[in-house]
Every structure is written in structure tokens, then in C-alpha cells.
């Protein structure tokens, strides 16, 4: 399980979801199933959703016994459709829902998935391999202005204009097909000579790749749409927990929770987002940017 993905803020999530035996929970981002297993071990009954069939296949094997006892149900789908998926699987009223956003380590580590600039692979970045839009499609077909918008809005990238320009120039010569092709273009813009360290080079590649990934998977729109639907699935006293890794995800979550509170739908449990302990941060670098927010329905 840990090779596939190491769960972030596991103890904190379990404590704040107040998992109770025989109550129903939805894990909207199943991944390697670490959080789902935590809920199952505390006696909860879980519906695990993921749009990535490799994640579902992994958990189907790993937690076969829990599926056999019907404590765990798996569903392939986008959490944007959480209401439909929940009703189809008889999870129409639940005690808790978890979102652990972003990509799993498995997705990043597999070169063929095309998420990482560190490993050459096809420029893919789809969490759902059945979706028609890959990063290659966006990089080769989007207008320059749209690329600039993606890099600056989702990546807060200072040189968005120059990177988009370089992409448009390069793709006129030859289609941009691999993660290596893209990172070479990014590096050509910055130059990375002499004084610029490998650290900076990685940070810039990371920002641009992450921005593109957010666009390929429509991540922010899906999150906003899904959180509103999720509240409708909660029982009175039920809790919604969201772990985000990107400031825009965290801001969206915060806004949705504040609006819900204003409409007297419930209360925010985490006045400030919860972060990983220093110990967890040192053991799992992914946890460093994690922020957990929890809302309780009236
Ligand atoms: C960070 S991982 C979750 C890890 C998991 N909590 C664990 O403990 O192993 C995020 C997972 O959510 C999935 N995911 C992201 N956005 C999704 C969406 N809109 N719909 C369904 N699954 C999504 C990804 O495919 C990935 O497997």
C-alpha cells in the first residue's frame, strides 16, 4: 500500500471524521486506499470513488476481504458526480466524506502516466485514462493566451508568457509529445545556467507541470461542483473533510465552507486548516503542503 501511496494526515482525518462503527462514509479520492482502510479499521462502511482505474484495481486486490464482506464498495467515476455515484451505491445519506485531492504517488511515479518532469514519458497527465483530453492535446492545440492563463493562474508562474511563446514556436516545427520535450522548452526559457540551482529548475518544472495537470483534469471546477453536492449527502452531524495541496484548492474549499456556514447549513470545525506534524513532514515530503479543513452539517 505504501509503495502505491502514503496517506497524509491519516490520524487527523480519522479523529475529525469521528468514525463510528457501522456508519457509512464516502472516500471520494480512494487512491491507494490508505484513508479508506483507516475508516474500515474503525468500523466504518466505505464507498471508495476514484476516476483512475489503476487505483481501483490496486485497492480491489489489496482490500479484497473488505469487499467480500461488503464493508467496502468501489466505484469508478469522477467525484464531480458524487451525488449520482452515492445514490447508485446506496450511500445516499452518510456520516462523513473525505477528499484527499491531487495525484497519488503511483500516478507521479509511473512515467507512462506523464505527470512527472523527472521521468520521460508521453505528455498525458489524465487521472482518468478514458478522458479525451491529454496534456499533449492542450499543449499542442490551445491558443497562446489560454496557455498563459493556465501557467499564471494555476501555476503562479512568473514567466508564463515566455513559456507559452516558446511552446507555440516549438510546436510549429514539431508536435510536443513527451514530458521531456516540455521540460526542455521550460528550461530553454529560463536558461538555467550557472547560478540557478537544480532546486529552482525542479520548482519551476513542478509549477508548470502542476498547472497543466490542473487544467487537463479540470480539478478546480470539479472540486467546487462536488463539494456542494457532497453536503447534500451528509446526515445531520455528518462531516466533510478536505485535504488540499494547492493554494487554489484550499481557497475554494474555504470559500465553500464559509458560504455554507453563512447559509446556516452547519459549522466550520477547523478555524485554521490543520497541517502535518513536523514528524510527518520529515517522513513524507508530500505532506508539507497539505491543509485539512473540516465542515459539520447541522
Ligand atoms: C492523493 S490521492 C488519494 C490517496 C488516498 N487518500 C490514500 O490514502 O491512498 C488522490 C486520488 O484521487 C483521485 N482523484 C482526483 N480527482 C478526482 C476526481 N475528480 N474524481 C475521482 N477521483 C479523483 C486520483 O485519481 C487519485 O487516485
pLDDT tens digits, one per residue of 7-30: 999 999 999 999 999 999 999 999
Position 128 scores a pLDDT of 98
Protein fold of 10-105+219-297:
Rossmann fold (3.40.50)
pLDDT tens-digit map of 238-265: 999 999 999 999 999 999 999 999 999 9
Domains 10-105+219-297 and 132-216 share a fold: no
CA atoms within 13 A on the CB side of 126: 15
Best residue for ligand 1 mutational test, from 2, 30, 33, 36 (most atoms within 8 Å of Cβ): 30
Map out the domains of the chain as residue ranges.
10-105+219-297, 132-216
Mean of the per-residue pLDDT values of the chain: 96
CA of 213 to the centre of ligand 1 (A): 13
Do the beta carbons of residue 148 and residue 164 sit within 8 Å? yes
Mean pLDDT along residues 69-94: 98
CA atoms within 13 A on the CB side of 37: 17
Confidence grade of residue 164 (pLDDT, cut at 50, 70, 90) = very high
**Nearest residue to 232 (alpha-carbon basis) of 201, 256, 204, 200:** 256
Position 190 scores a pLDDT of 85
Confidence grade of residue 193 (pLDDT, cut at 50, 70, 90) = low
Output Rg (C-alpha) for the chain, integer angstroms: 20
Do the beta carbons of residue 17 and residue 40 sit within 8 Å? no
Q: For residue 201, is pLDDT > 90?
A: no
Q: What strand order describes the sheet that includes 45-50? A: 72-76, 45-50, 24-27, 94-100, 234-244, 291-297, 266-268
Q: Which residues pair with 291 in a beta bridge?
A: 244
pLDDT tens-digit map of 24-42: 999 999 999 999 999 999 9
Dihedral over Cα of 33, 38, 39, 42: its sign: positive
Position 192 scores a pLDDT of 63
Position 70 scores a pLDDT of 98
Query: Which CATH code is given to the segment(s) 132-216?
Result: 1.10.150.170
Best residue for ligand 1 mutational test, from 127, 217, 219, 241 (most atoms within 8 Å of Cβ): 127
Tell me what percent of the residues of the chain surpass a pLDDT of 70: 97
- 50, burial (CB in 10 Å: exposed 0-12, middle 13-18, buried 19+): buried
Confidence grade of residue 94 (pLDDT, cut at 50, 70, 90) = very high
Q: Which residues contact 55 (CB under 8 A, 6 or more apart)?
A: 4, 30, 31, 32, 33, 104, 106
CA angle, corner 180, sides to 194 and 117, nearest 5? Answer: 80
Position 1 scores a pLDDT of 45
CA of 174 to the centre of ligand 1 (A): 34
CA of 5 to the centre of ligand 1 (A): 10
Confidence grade of residue 298 (pLDDT, cut at 50, 70, 90) = very high
Return left, alpha or beta for 31; rule: phi > 0 is left, psi -120 to 50 is alpha, else beta. left
Q: Strand ranges (DSSP E) for the chain?
A: 24-27, 45-50, 72-76, 94-100, 234-244, 266-268, 291-297
CA of 161 to the centre of ligand 1 (A): 31
Amino acid at each position: 500500500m505504501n509503495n502505491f501511496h502514503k496517506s497524509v494526515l491519516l490520524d487527523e482525518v480519522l479523529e475529525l471524521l469521528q468514525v463510528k462503527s457501522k456508519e457509512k462514509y464516502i472516500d471520494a479520492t480512494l487512491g491507494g486506499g490508505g484513508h479508506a482502510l483507516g475508516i474500515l479499521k474503525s468500523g466504518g462502511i466505505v464507498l471508495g470513488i476514484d476516476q483512475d482505474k489503476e487505483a481501483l484495481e490496486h485497492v480491489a486486490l489489496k482490500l479484497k476481504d473488505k469487499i467480500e464482506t461488503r464493508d467496502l464498495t468501489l466505484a469508478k467515476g469522477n467525484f464531480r458526480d458524487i451525488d449520482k455515484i452515492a445514490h447508485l451505491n446506496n450511500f445516499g445519506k452518510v456520516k462523513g466524506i473525505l477528499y484527499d485531492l491531487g495525484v497519488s504517488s503511483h500516478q507521479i511515479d509511473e512515467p507512462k502516466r506523464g505527470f512527472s518532469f523527472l521521468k520521460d514519458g508521453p505528455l498525458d497527465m489524465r487521472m482518468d485514462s478514458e478522458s479525451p483530453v491529454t496534456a499533449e492535446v492542450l499543449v499542442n492545440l490551445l491558443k497562446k493566451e489560454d496557455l498563459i492563463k493556465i501557467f499564471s493562474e494555476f501555476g503562479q508562474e512568473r514567466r508564463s508568457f515566455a513559456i507559452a511563446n516558446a511552446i507555440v514556436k516549438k510546436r510549429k516545427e514539431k508536435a510536443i509529445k513527451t514530458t521531456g520535450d516540455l521540460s526542455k522548452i521550460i528550461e530553454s526559457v529560463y536558461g538555467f545556467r550557472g547560478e540557478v540551482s537544480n532546486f529552482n529548475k525542479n520548482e519551476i518544472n513542478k509549477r508548470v507541470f502542476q498547472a497543466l495537470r490542473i487544467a487537463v483534469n479540470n480539478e478546480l471546477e470539479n472540486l467546487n461542483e462536488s463539494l456542494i453536492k457532497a453536503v447534500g449527502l451528509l446526515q445531520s452531524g455528518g462531516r466533510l473533510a478536505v485535504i488540499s495541496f494547492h493554494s487554489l484548492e484550499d481557497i475554494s474549499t474555504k470559500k465553500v465552507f464559509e458560504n455554507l456556514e453563512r447559509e446556516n447549513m452547519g459549522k466550520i470545525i477547523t478555524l485554521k486548516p490543520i497541517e502535518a506534524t513536523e514528524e510527518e513532514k520529515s517522513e513524507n515530503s508530500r505532506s508539507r503542503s497539505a491543509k485539512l479543513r473540516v465542515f459539520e452539517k447541522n
